[in-house]
Structure 1
Amino acid sequence: MPATGSGQQTRSGQHWKVGRLAAETGLTVRTLHHYDDIGLVRPSGRTASGHRLYEESDVERLYQVLALRQLGLSLDAIATVTDGDTSLSEILDAHRAYLDDQLAATRTLRAQVEMLSRTVRTSPDASVADFLQVIRGVIEVDDIFERYFDKGQIADLAERRAMLGDDVITAAETSWQELIPRVDAALSSGMDPACSEAQEMARQWMDLLEQFHGGDEGLRDSLYRMHEDNAQQIEQEFCGPSREHIEFITKANEARST
């Protein structure tokens, strides 16, 4: 039968010589030879001239080895797992969970780099001290976030941030900076939360929160719990809303709903 682009086709299925398998997987021939020598991934057959010939089941086992290797297992431990009762689906699930964690960490790191990049753009003369301050702030925010948001939620937030883009994020930050002083002034003047002006501020407030959580109830609840437990720190260190701001907006929002 004719050969295909990804290996030789035989009556018993597709086969790969070691060079072709190395080329398609990105592994080296030396690595495949080593896996064969230690009994980790042995080719199921040989050509008439004695060259290694891998079958589809060998490729599946090779994936298992590489997935477990990425999870941090030693070759000896991998041999024990692959020779035991662990199924391919279990290895796939473990590999996927690992990649989800890595993806969440990468998204978080990207958000940190983006924050530093924005600092440089807005403050061309930023000093090392400025960077250290931002880094400390990032770490503090991360510590708070990790207490209230799970890894999946943090990844969702990072993905949402990337989807919205810098312009929308910057506009939202500006809107918060303008809205909080307006609510502060309303509190100082004794404004009735049920009046139309207060209700309009409440609408803007809820719209900004909607950009953050996207209507996800889990994210919204985590956000509220985080603020409830850390209101003073958020207000003092990150210029966030106070408990009084939240209470005023809550009353104004209730008036909107009646």
Structure 2
Amino acid sequence: MKDVIEADNKRRWSVGELARATGLTVRTLHHYDQIGLLTPHERTASGHRRYTEHDLRRLYRIRALSALGLSLDEIASVLADQDDELTALHALLTAQLHGLTAQATRINELRTRIDGLLQRITARQMPNPDQFMSTLELITVYETYFTQEQRDQLAQRRTALGPEAIEAAKHEWAALVEELLPHVAANTPTDNPQVADLIARYQALGARFHPPAEQGEQTAAAARQMWQDNSTELAARLPWPPDRIIALVEYVNRAHQP
């Protein structure tokens, strides 16, 4: 079995490919290399890093251990003590599965509690402080869609924009939604010049809230995943029928499909 694990199918990944696939930044992967946590097994003739299957498995273990709350120094120590990779991966995946099961339970509980808050407010009854506090504690589950680094980047971007620009963007976005919804209902072709212009403005507006370049691509991808997993709940918070907003997002996304 050890021979199977050590077999190499010659697949190689550049640092950029690995960054895009994992949601890490190139800078983070360079840092892992510098501290000896993840050193690529190969380099090209020009000195560019090339990661192997072994490196990919090690990175998986690093990310999983980090998600379990270990520091980089602790992760390095754990990996140094693990000789049997199959056994180590089995234990790690088991711990991850338990964590995801617990996370799913917390999300379901959060949905139940928010629904309870909404029902009380709909009945014109103010929820008590304990209800708000317990809900606040559970809201942190949604932080799983963005790494701490990405949350910091998004916060910095909001600070850079300032409250007035953010408020103006909200009004601009609402106006764009109102203009797009009739086209969604009529299924106007997305290459229609008027629709194409509206969609371009819609997407440019969203891009303002993301950091530039590669970091922005990663936070935008995380936001799309969050919407995909929670579209019904998120759409219900907006001042339009949820099904219409969900259809609008699908319409906008369809405009960029080949």
| TM-score with structure 2 setting the length | 0.45
| TM-score with structure 1 setting the length | 0.45
Indicate the structure whose relative CO is greater, using CA pairs within 8 Å and at least 6 residues apart.
2
Q: Larger radius of gyration, structure 1 or 2?
A: 1
